[in-house]
Structure 1
Amino acid sequence: MNKADVIVIGSGIAALQLAHHISADKNVRILTKSSVKASNSSLAQGGIAASIGADDHVTLHSKDTMEAGRFHNNEEVVIKITEEAPLLIQELHEAGCPFDQDSSGKLKLGMEGAHSHYRIVHSGGDATGKNVIDFLVDTLPKNTSIIENMFAYELLINDMNQCIGVKVKDEAGNIHCYYADHTVIATGGCSYVYSLSAGSPNVTGDGIAMAYLAGAEITDMEFIQFHPTMLIKNGEVKGLISEAVRGQGAKLVTNRGELIMEGVHPLKDLAPRHVVSQTIYDYIHNGEEIFLDISSIDNFEAKFPTITDICLTSGINPKDGLIPVAPGSHFLMGGIKVDLHGQTNIHGLYAIGEAACTGLHGANRLASNSLLEGLSFGKRLAEYINATLPVPNNEKTVLEIGAKNSSPVVVPDFKQLRERMMEYVGIVRTEQTLAQQKAWLEGYFRLDQVFPSFDKCTTAEIQSILASVIALLITDAALKRTESRGGHFRADYPMENKYWQNNHIVYQYSKGRLEANEQNQTTDHVRAVFC
């Protein structure tokens, strides 16, 4: 039997950090959808935020995080993680992770949007994610094994509401079951369910959808961060232009040279991402092209080698000084609801990284807090597992999630789903567009239905079904939240509503009919329970 102490689904920074901190007497098995380094973490050009500057302090980092998240954050989580940040950086640096340093040997600190101080630690300029992932993979402890090209599609839940493992398909479509005392979802977010995204094609929300269908609580799915500056050529995303470029002085301009962020926000081009994205969207919607003017940055090619390569590969010469940009889907603030240790409401099931909703990001993630969150919760969960005795389980009582005798599966075209999500549930939303998208999605699947047995489906069909679940969760939550806050902008409700500030839309599934969909002000939650 394929049994491990800990199974980790996904191989980004949170997963690898967890593996590094699990005690040597436990074996860890990492299952990844493609290759171990093909994650959004590897693509991260930005750095890791930590208040280590002489004029900085954790209270300032916390304040910036809360402000960017529009005070929808869990303040306790924000304080704990920002307090941990300097030590996490120190531990990585002392272990040999190659962070950028100045001539005196001190860590270089960069500036990014919505930060009040220079506090971004980088590696290789704009190759932080790649360098950190390379370091963590190359130094993995001996008790960790990696199995690549395994598509996880169903969590194994017994009749005691205990997760005891996961079901996967290999490249040939063969089914394998992996069992563990602790099963960790670290599959990332869902940026690739939108057509404009610079994220990895592997990041389609599979882990979140699996957790939903297993009965885990899912929350804050309406909060999608659209990165303001995706490099666009002929209507296609060629890559991401890091916020650090604007931190070095680049400006957003029209083809006439008009500075578009003047008078929009006190921080101008370094305003929170939702402000910048919505401003660019307005110009593009009115037929204007938007560019990032990098002409003021000396030695651009040396400071941003990764971005330079992306530009040159796309036929854009950075020496010309203008890079065409547009907003695209980048980060999910919501996800699987967890506590400070990464635990879900299902015993033995955990979530860390972008797949989890920890409360750190609120309605909009502060730049360079994502790699920080992965490091923090990877270590936190490892320490919890190290101190936890396994609970006996019975693999023979696994509950079947899918219908045994299902009709032929009809799934939406994945390309069309992505295009429609961008058009109808994108940067600017309305009741009309959201309702249209929900109706289109429900022509294939509903959140309250009994889903087909995934064992009988192809990998492509399963991915489309899970992506449809994610798309429906985003769309339905965006319909319910009748305000604009952070990454969620409703043109028909353009202002923040104080009622919604601490209210969260929480979904939980258990095969059957829609039982309730009501506002529960006593618990500060708006629940949509499917049972």
Structure 2
Amino acid sequence: MTVIKADVVIIGSGLASLMVADILSVTKNVIIITKSNVTDSNSLLAQGGIAAAISGDDDWRDHFFDTIRAGCYHNDETMTEFLVRQGPSVIDSLIEKGIDFDRCKDKSYALGKEGAHGRRRILHSGGDATGKELVMKLLARVKENTTIIEHEYAIDLLIQNGTCIGVYTKNSEQSKSTYIAPFIILATGGIGQLYEVTSNSEQATGDGIAMAFRAGAAIADMEFVQFHPTMLVKSSKGIGLVSEAVRGEGARIVTEKGDFLMAGKHPLEDLAPRDVVARAINEHLCKNGLLYLDISNIEHFTKRFPSIAAICEKANIDLHDNRIPIAPGAHFMMGGVVTNEKGETSIPGLYAVGEVARTGVHGANRLASNSLLECVVFATEIANEILQKQQFSSIFVPVMEEEGTRKIGHLPSELEIKEVMTKCVGIVRTRQSLKEALSWFTTYRFAMLHWKNINITIEQQKICNMITVGYLITLAAWERTESRGGHYRTDHPHSLERKWKHKTIYFSGASEKPYVSAKCIEKLSV
């Protein structure tokens, strides 16, 4: 087995990863490990933009309250204030790094408006290619000083005396390596691929959350999964995302008869918070009625939204009809590995940033275009924290145990996991559906353990991670018997703002039994 040492090892290659590497690689030996191509991430797919209170009629307090309201008052207010106050300075730093944001003819920023925002404060690049602009510009900078290892799959975190000191990996040829560093950073993205329809990259299978959980890190808010209301669909299959910015520019959700779906359902109608719009669309679709995004109010649509126009063209959607067929799809995980403002997890030496992290800034429902902001703000904080810390001088490097001949038991297919999550733990949940899902997941509890002396392939590893994360989402949804934000239960559909009875639901793999959830299931007789 190969042992590689570095100052910093980052797992994942999205915007958060590249931002950390850009700051640290000038003085540190930084290695980025990614299980696919370096550009294959949710960040690259981000169409919407990045939110910041930079206009003269805007203020961080307005951005703060919009974020809190969208998050259904489940947000960590201290962390949320920190996030939005950093917005303007973050934009300045990105411009210094060469990022070009769209401007009006008078050279002012072309600010967009999206759901639940009270002001126009969304900066875009390339119309609807903001994520691509950020990723490609930062990647060009990072490549100069950073080692990037592609097609290397992180298997498990290496914990020594309660501290994270490295990560075990395998490549496509099943060759194993151990990466050792005083700072290990999870930047592995989200969990969208656990559902049948998703806006996420194919790599978003929750690997970082599963690894952190097995290592004993605190995990929270797993029940809060955001479904984007407007995925382009054809023949019931998700083709690509139609950004909320399209509705911000005047598009309306309409029925086949041309009726406005959101009229009378919320004061903000089509720009209501995502959970509200997604549930309204889901309810209509369940009655077998098709829905569309009417773009007739948007002039020069293909110029304003070139990426979306290209997706429609590829799917043979004629934009001259001014209607794009839509349905909700899994989009963003508000929960994840618990961190503080410096990106530190409950395990010393282990950091998390981006969608894999639960910073608390999104509450129960993320405000549109706050995700890229979160990536950049907390990536900067992690980098600055690491620059101030001293590295340890020497550590004992254990060797990963050799795999034996014993094989892992029968595992479900990826498709089966998607079907269970979509049917039972989707946009709308019931006590019975959650009970059914928990029962199904517990039959695969063996897949959630550490695999010592077990011969396991990379594909099996992915399935095990998906089972672990699906189980945590399901259990958290079972435990939270109210409805809030991205978590909606038909048996408890109504809750008043600020009066929810539940606090944050935490899990940790470092319990006296392999899983806290196993005890919960026994107690609830599921």
- How far 1:93 moved relative to its partner? 1.4
Taking the TM superposition and a 5 Å limit, the aligned residue runs for 1:29-428 are: 29-140=31-142, 142-158=144-160, 160-392=161-393, 394-396=395-397, 408-428=408-428
Residues 105/207 of structure 1: CA separation in 2 closer, same or farther (3 Å cut): same
Deviations 1:469-503, CA, capped at 9 Å, x for gaps? 00000000000000000000001110227564671
Deviations 1:119-162, CA, capped at 9 Å, x for gaps? 0000000011011101010112633111111111111111x111
Taking the TM superposition and a 5 Å limit, the aligned residue runs for 1:441-460 are: 441-445=441-445, 450-453=449-452, 456-460=455-459
- Counterpart position of 1:522: none
Deviations 1:272-299, CA, capped at 9 Å, x for gaps? 0000000001100111111101111110
SS where residue 265 of structure 1 aligns? coil
Between 502-511 and 256-265, the greater mean CA deviation after superposition: 502-511
Asked whether the equivalents of residues 113 and 122 of structure 2 are also in contact (C-alpha less than 8 Å), the reply is: yes
**Residues of 1 paired with 2:505 and 2:511: CA distance?**
20
Q: Which amino acid aligns with 2:211?
A: M
Q: Which amino acid aligns with 2:323?
A: L
Q: Which amino acid aligns with 1:30?
A: I
Residues 517/307 of structure 1: CA separation in 2 closer, same or farther (3 Å cut): closer
Asked whether the equivalents of residues 188 and 354 of structure 1 are also in contact (C-alpha less than 8 Å), the reply is: yes
**Residues of 2 paired with 1:139 and 1:30: CA distance?**
14
**Residues of 2 paired with 1:318 and 1:272: CA distance?**
26
- Counterpart position of 2:488: 489
Q: Which amino acid aligns with 2:103?
A: Q
Between 89-98 and 211-220, the greater mean CA deviation after superposition: 89-98
Asked whether the equivalents of residues 230 and 327 of structure 1 are also in contact (C-alpha less than 8 Å), the reply is: yes
Asked whether the equivalents of residues 403 and 450 of structure 1 are also in contact (C-alpha less than 8 Å), the reply is: no
Deviations 1:84-121, CA, capped at 9 Å, x for gaps? 01111111113321110111222210000000000000
SS where residue 257 of structure 2 aligns? coil
**Residues of 2 paired with 1:472 and 1:518: CA distance?**
10
Q: Which amino acid aligns with 1:408?
A: I
- Counterpart position of 1:26: 28
**Residues of 2 paired with 1:219 and 1:446: CA distance?**
22
**Residues of 2 paired with 1:21 and 1:226: CA distance?**
33
Asked whether the equivalents of residues 24 and 143 of structure 1 are also in contact (C-alpha less than 8 Å), the reply is: yes
**Residues of 1 paired with 2:165 and 2:396: CA distance?**
7
Residues 297/325 of structure 1: CA separation in 2 closer, same or farther (3 Å cut): same
- How far 1:409 moved relative to its partner? 2.4
**Residues of 1 paired with 2:298 and 2:500: CA distance?**
41
SS where residue 312 of structure 1 aligns? helix
Q: Which runs of 4+ in 1 moved over 4 A?
A: 397-400, 402-407, 497-502, 514-519
- Counterpart position of 1:524: none
Residues 446/284 of structure 1: CA separation in 2 closer, same or farther (3 Å cut): farther
SS where residue 7 of structure 2 aligns? strand
Asked whether the equivalents of residues 156 and 398 of structure 1 are also in contact (C-alpha less than 8 Å), the reply is: no
**Residues of 2 paired with 1:471 and 1:412: CA distance?**
12
1:469 lines up with 2:468 in the alignment: yes
Q: Which amino acid aligns with 1:110?
A: G
Residues 173/407 of structure 1: CA separation in 2 closer, same or farther (3 Å cut): closer
Deviations 1:424-466, CA, capped at 9 Å, x for gaps? 100000110011011111111269x644338620111000001
**Residues of 2 paired with 1:6 and 1:101: CA distance?**
37
Asked whether the equivalents of residues 8 and 185 of structure 2 are also in contact (C-alpha less than 8 Å), the reply is: yes
SS where residue 328 of structure 2 aligns? strand
Asked whether the equivalents of residues 169 and 178 of structure 2 are also in contact (C-alpha less than 8 Å), the reply is: yes
Q: Which amino acid aligns with 2:513?
A: R
1:434 lines up with 2:434 in the alignment: yes
- Counterpart position of 1:525: none
**Residues of 1 paired with 2:404 and 2:430: CA distance?**
38
**Residues of 1 paired with 2:453 and 2:172: CA distance?**
15
**Residues of 2 paired with 1:331 and 1:444: CA distance?**
25
Asked whether the equivalents of residues 208 and 336 of structure 1 are also in contact (C-alpha less than 8 Å), the reply is: yes
- Counterpart position of 2:477: 478
Between 488-497 and 233-242, the greater mean CA deviation after superposition: 488-497
Deviations 1:50-99, CA, capped at 9 Å, x for gaps? 00111100000000000000010000111111010111111111332111
Q: Which amino acid aligns with 2:463?
A: S
User: Which runs of 5 or more residues in structure 1 are unaligned?
Assistant: 520-527
- How far 1:175 moved relative to its partner? 0.8
**Residues of 2 paired with 1:455 and 1:176: CA distance?**
17
SS where residue 193 of structure 2 aligns? helix
So what's the TM-score if we normalise by structure 1? 0.94
Asked whether the equivalents of residues 449 and 514 of structure 2 are also in contact (C-alpha less than 8 Å), the reply is: no
**Length, aligned pairs only:** 517
Asked whether the equivalents of residues 409 and 452 of structure 1 are also in contact (C-alpha less than 8 Å), the reply is: no
Q: Which amino acid aligns with 1:347?
A: P
- How far 1:173 moved relative to its partner? 1.1
- Counterpart position of 1:507: 507
Residues 439/446 of structure 1: CA separation in 2 closer, same or farther (3 Å cut): farther
Asked whether the equivalents of residues 114 and 366 of structure 1 are also in contact (C-alpha less than 8 Å), the reply is: yes
